[in-house]
Chains A and B, each alone.
Chain A
Amino acid sequence: MTAVRCRHYWPVVAALAVMVQIQRPATATEATAVAPEPAATVSFDLVLEAERQRTETIAAASKAAVAIFAGAAGGGSGVLISPDGYALTNFHVVQPAGIAMQCGLNDGQLYDAVLVGLDPTGDLAVIKLLGRDDFPAAELADSDAVSIGDECFVIGNPFLLATDLRPSVSAGIVSGVHRYQFPAGTILEYADCLQVDAAINPGNSGGGLFDAAGRLIGINGRASFEKRGRINVGVGYAISSNQVRNFLGVLKGGRLADHATLGATVATSFDGRVVVSDILESSDAWRRGLRIDDEVVALAGRPVRSVNAFKNVLGTLPAGWRVPLVYRREGRPTEIVVELAGVHTTAMLADIISGGRGKPAPPGKPGEQPEPRPNPLAPKPEDLPEAIRPLYEPRLGFTNFHFNRVELERVAALITTGSSQAADEQAADQPNADRPAWTFRGRLEQGGRFEIELADQAASISLPTGVSRWEPVAAAAGLAAEAGFDASPPGSGGMLAALTLWRQLLLDGVAGNGRMIYWGQQPQAGAGGELVDVLELTSGAGRARFQVAASGTVVAVDFLLSPTAEPCELEFRFTAGQDNQQPTAMVVHHAGRRFATFLIEEASP
């Protein structure tokens, strides 16, 4: 009966004058039920079987639980999500802990760990445990499939009890879904979070919330406290696994994540609609036509029926994502795609993580205040343990640039696998020589023929409306060059530049290019919600983002001539089953309109 009693065992049972031991819960309930139950056919074996399953599920899930200790600064919990040691936790747990920390697992072993990425607004962090490539890892589930009333488990290190490194488990049910929790005196916003009555206490922060099957549905990090101080009152909150998934790329890439803003605020109108109450004229939404008093109907594919729903959707999205927005004006719905700006500047984020503003309460024991100390998130290398030193590289705008290199190399390897062997050999053999031009011929969907030629020294496009030619300055220097981009052909926003940069990426790769970073993940342009890796290149005033599918295929290029320009959004289309990067079509959008769809009939090489 251990497991059943465990279900009923709460930290607040102290409040009970009489606690009746439930020796035989199934039969006891039947014998005294308030209304006749269906015939009492429930076998006691079923109860034992359910208990056995629960015990096994918890035992399996507990293996991925991480106990984080940060000395006098407190500590908290975490949860492993990959065999190579990546683990999730809260920003407010690692903020006092710093770049290097020690983590305990359920096997009783202590592991060195290094901070990888931070999302201060969303209270998330990714750390990497070192020393194994076979860490037990939790499976990230779809938190939108979670319902109120579902069974759930919290596994972590409440009150830092896990001095033997073995986690504590509390059980409960999901009390609410899609909750919005204001940044209460901090910048930590819990949007679209899960609410549970499983006990979440100080120290549980950063640990996993698991469903009945032992899959990870959230990261515990917050609870409602009131008159009894900082102990659980049956109201805890977890960051949803779907929000985690949206930010995981940014975090694993060692970046300092920022959250999205539409550049517009919404309010509930007198008749209950969600309408734009204010909008920045510098926002992409304004450029796409959104105005004050427009009714916001849906954002990023989710219906918006309240201000909270709007904040819920927005709060789970990283800055820089491009998402659909449906608004209604005079009864007519319009769908636009808007690029979401960041809430903070890089400098603001850097200030936040050094505790400059909105410093959250430490997760340590109630009443303990850490001494003022140097910012642990910007240590001197010599202060780091030897094992950590090669894994840490500071850079403005990044939590730990070392891991950006790691991700960049990973995606570069993917691209190499995906690109044709011939191109690789050619690049290797003749690094400085002119390489054969790439040519594409075919017809435009809207009528007429086109021809595109991409070479090291020049790119040209022939369209029914005329011929455009662009010669990159010092193109031989590759992607790193100040390329002197232009927006040709007219109306495309810089399609020739985008294609040239794409060709150079495929031929030269990303190696040794300081201007290329791993940006994170984004939903694939023009496709469903599947997340793909994104590389970002800045060159002069220009900026290009390359979407790289898991196969290594570059599926889209997003080129921006200058920070205030409208991007050239170029998507490649491929025939299903094709195993190289030879696109069969290209779709180009610019300034909210489709520029052209190029149906490729002939390509060389």
Chain B
Amino acid sequence: MTCSVSPRPFVVLLLSGLVLLGWPPAVFAGDATEPGVYAARRVVKLYGAGGIRGLESYQTGILVSPTGHIVTALSTALDSEAIDCVLDDGRRYPARLLGADLTRELAVLEIDGENLPCFSLSTSTPRAAVGSRVLALSNLFGVAVGDERVSLQHGVIAACVPLRARRGAHEAAYRGDVYILDCTTNNPGSPGGCLTDWQGRLLGMLGKELRAEPSGIWLSYALPADELARGYEQVLSGKPPADPGAATAGDYDPRLLGLQLVPDLLDQTPAYVETVLPESAAATAGLEPDDLLVAVGDRTINSQRALRQELARLLPGDTVRLSLIRAGAIVTVVLGPLPARPEPATAEEPQ
């Protein structure tokens, strides 16, 4: 998987144009049929890698440009040479991964489409009020195939609170506000699905299958549309994330060095490199995808958690010596200086 993104100024221009058009695209009255169908035409079914329990090979995406830009949840399903995208009308396209926002855990894909129905994203989308009735559309359980329509669920925004979630040892990088929903949307295939109001207007993107950190309860949440727009713009701009997010207090996020590891799903997930961010300290030091990190300085590490903890022992400005296994041989590289950790993000107040 690559996270390099070629700059696309024309897309950004197009995006601004859409924002000017105003975002409420439709007004429906009555039951959920019309807004549901309106939204379903803007939702795609995505098929990629995976297929084992807990790591589904399918999910959902939201069309956000008439030329085929799709936002979806960043997941292992996208870790595939061939991502298939199936539109509401059954048309099938190969999708390219343009890039990912590792903080918001969202990815932007592109298909070769024209005049596609789409939502327009805006960073100024107001937050929906707690208590708002919402519709959720997703490729849940993969029950819809071909021209069969994605599933429509209904619910209420129960809260808008900072996300504190994990699955196993994998901790959600995003710690900003999310909508908590009273309907179950954390089903296989639901990540990347769309959340709308009963007028069919985009409110957010359905999140991943995660548990609430304090309680262990499975969370049904959605990333608000303004955050979605920010992540989308950031990916298209090609800039590294402004705020890589704060890892668990006391840990050091290796992404600050430009190292994206494989999803941390186990108690002791090996510290395999998934992606090296371009122009980062890790890229300069020559780290490569599939490198297995085994030591920080003289201290061996047996898991991603151990890596985060060892990195946290260092001081900003230190150089970091990493030992890794590449193609069966141990290689040692030196990175540095170590960037300072950002201040923990403060939760944004709901509007």
Q: What residues of chain A have their CB less than 8 Å away from a CB belonging to chain B?
A: 8, 10, 12-20, 22, 25, 28-29, 31-35, 38, 147-151, 172-176, 178-179, 181, 195, 197, 212, 224, 226-228, 232-235, 272, 305-306, 308
Contact = CB atoms under 8 A, between A and B. Distances in A.
A151 B133 CA distance: 14
B152 A176 contact: yes
B147 A306 contact: yes
A10 B182 contact: yes
Nearest to B130: A20
B131 A29 contact: yes
B81 interface: no
A172 B154 contact: yes
Contacts of A13: 158, 182
Nearest to B221: A15
Interface in B147-198: 147-156, 158-159, 161, 180, 182-185, 187-188, 197
Contacts of B144: 176, 179
Contact of A175 (B34, B153, B215, B219): B153
Overall SS of chain B's interface: loop
Contacts of B276: none
A34 B159 contact: no
A34 B197 contact: yes
B15 interface: no
A148 B133 contact: no
The 6 A-B pairs of least Cβ separation, nearest first, read: A32-B129, A149-B33, A149-B32, A149-B36, A234-B184, A233-B184
Contact of A15 (B31, B135, B151, B218): B218
Contact of A235 (B36, B141, B147, B203): B141
B37 interface: yes
21 contacts: A10-B182, A13-B158, A14-B217, A17-B159, A22-B156, A25-B131, A29-B133, A31-B129, A32-B132, A33-B129, A34-B129, A35-B199, A173-B31, A173-B32, A175-B153, A176-B144, A197-B183, A235-B140, A235-B187, A306-B145, A306-B147
Contacts of A272: 90
Nearest to B142: A224
A33 B31 CA distance: 17
B250 interface: no
B158 A20 contact: yes
Contacts of B150: 176
A524 to B, nearest CB: 32
B275 to A, nearest CB: 28
A149 B33 CA distance: 4
A176 B132 contact: no
B143 interface: yes
Q: Interface range on chain B: under 10, 10 to 19, 20 to 34, or 35 or more?
A: 35 or more
A16 B155 CA distance: 12
A306 B34 CA distance: 25
B286 interface: no
A9 B272 CA distance: 44
Given A12-B183, A12-B184, A176 B151 contact: yes
B298 to A, nearest CB: 41
A18 B158 contact: yes
Of A13, A38, A181, most B-chain CB atoms within 10 Å: A13
A32 B34 CA distance: 22
B35 interface: yes
Interface in B193-244: 197, 199, 201, 203, 209, 212, 215, 217-220
A15 B219 contact: yes
B19 to A, nearest CB: 14
Contacts of B185: 234
Contacts of B140: 224, 235
B161 A17 contact: yes
B131 A179 contact: no
B237 to A, nearest CB: 26
A147 B153 contact: no
B24 interface: yes
B152 A181 contact: no
A8 to B, nearest CB: 5
A14 B40 CA distance: 29
A38 B199 CA distance: 12
A234 B180 CA distance: 15
Nearest to B144: A176
Contacts of A212: 31
A172 B183 CA distance: 10
B182 A12 contact: yes
Contacts of A174: 152
Contacts of B183: 10, 12, 197, 234
B7 interface: no
Nearest to A14: B217
Contact of B148 (A17, A147, A172, A178): A178
Contact of A195 (B135, B143, B154, B158): B143
Given A16-B180, A25-B133, 17 more contacts: A10-B184, A12-B183, A13-B158, A15-B182, A17-B215, A18-B130, A29-B129, A34-B125, A34-B132, A148-B36, A149-B34, A173-B32, A175-B151, A176-B143, A197-B152, A226-B141, A235-B143
Contacts of A308: 145-146, 148
Given A12-B183, A34-B132, A234-B187, A181 B153 contact: no
B128 interface: yes
B147 A305 contact: yes
B330 to A, nearest CB: 39
Contacts of B197: 33-34
A175 B152 contact: yes
B126 interface: yes
Given A28-B131, A178-B148, A150 B33 contact: yes
Contacts of A10: 155, 182-184
Nearest to A175: B151
B33 A19 contact: no
B154 A197 contact: yes
B182 A8 contact: yes
Nearest to B40: A148
B318 to A, nearest CB: 39
B94 to A, nearest CB: 15
A148 B152 contact: yes
B28 to A, nearest CB: 10
Nearest to A232: B184
A195 B54 CA distance: 23
Contacts of A175: 151-153
A31 B90 CA distance: 39
Of A147, A149, A176, most B-chain CB atoms within 10 Å: A149
A29 B131 CA distance: 7
A308 B147 CA distance: 10
Contacts of B147: 305-306
A16 B143 contact: no
A306 B146 contact: yes
B128 to A, nearest CB: 5
Contacts of A33: 129, 132, 197
B161 A148 contact: no
Contacts of A150: 31-33
Contacts of B148: 176, 178-179, 306, 308
Contacts of A34: 125-129, 132, 197, 201, 203
Nearest to A228: B218
A151 B198 CA distance: 13
Nearest to A151: B31
A224 B141 contact: yes
Nearest to A147: B33
Contacts of B151: 175-176, 195, 197, 235
Given A34-B201, A148-B36, A176-B148, A233 B187 contact: yes
A296 B141 CA distance: 28
Interface string B328-347: 00000000000000000000
Contacts of B180: 15-18
Interface in B4-56: 23-24, 27, 31-37, 40, 54
A149 B217 contact: no
